Amino acid sequence: MKFLIINGPNLNLLGKREPDIYGSLSYERLCALIEGHALAHGSTACCFQSNHEGAIIDAIHAADGVYDAIVINPGAYTHYSYAILDALKAVDVPAYEVHLSHIDQREPFRAVSVTAPACVGQIYGHGHQGYLMAMDYFLEGGR
Ligand code: DQA
């Protein structure tokens, strides 16, 4: 399978950013882990990160017909980006939403995901393992 992994704003600062909430793994190490997981399953993963909504939307559009699945952590855009919701709905690539933290046990605004309805599933609170679990969903035949 060909995976596109999309990480939204501030996730480039993983490891440094609020490590008590998001963990101590850096963004670079997260990508290495994801790429290794894909390779171990005869697949590939391309990691993309942007702090800009439009760039994330462009990446989703460009995934159509190129990638088999998207694993996306939209960061704070999760809670208000109807544009990312629409982009995910507009393409024929299934997406799985991932959050490192327990978004349901934090500030009330984080419990709401406007992007999840365009995804086949959502996982949160499992730290970096959540990305691998989302990939496993597709590797095991989920669509
Ligand atoms: C996050 C949760 C969001 O509320 C936050 O804005 C993030 C990271 C997570 O992975 O837990 O940037 O998506």
Structure tokens at 87: 């982009």
> pTM of the predicted model, to two decimals?
0.98
Task: Encode pLDDT of 30-74 as tens digits.
Answer: 999 999 999 999 999 999 999 999 999 999 999 999 999 999 999
Q: Is the minimum distance from the CB of 122 to ligand 1 under 6 angstroms?
A: no
How many Å apart are CA 123 and CA 93, to the nearest integer? 18
Q: Is the minimum distance from the CB of 76 to ligand 1 under 6 angstroms?
A: yes
DSSP 3-state helix, strand, coil percentages of the chain (rounded to 5)?
45, 20, 35
Task: Encode pLDDT of 31-42 as tens digits.
Answer: 999 999 999 999
Whether pLDDT at 143 is above 90: no
Question: Chain-wide mean pLDDT for the chain?
Answer: 98
Domain residue limits at 65: 2-139
Q: What's the domain count of the chain?
A: 1
How confident is residue 124, by pLDDT bands cut at 50, 70 and 90? very high
CATH number, residue 35: 3.40.50.9100
Q: In angstroms, how far is the first alpha carbon of the chain from the final one?
A: 12
Residue 41 appears among annotated catalytic residues:
no
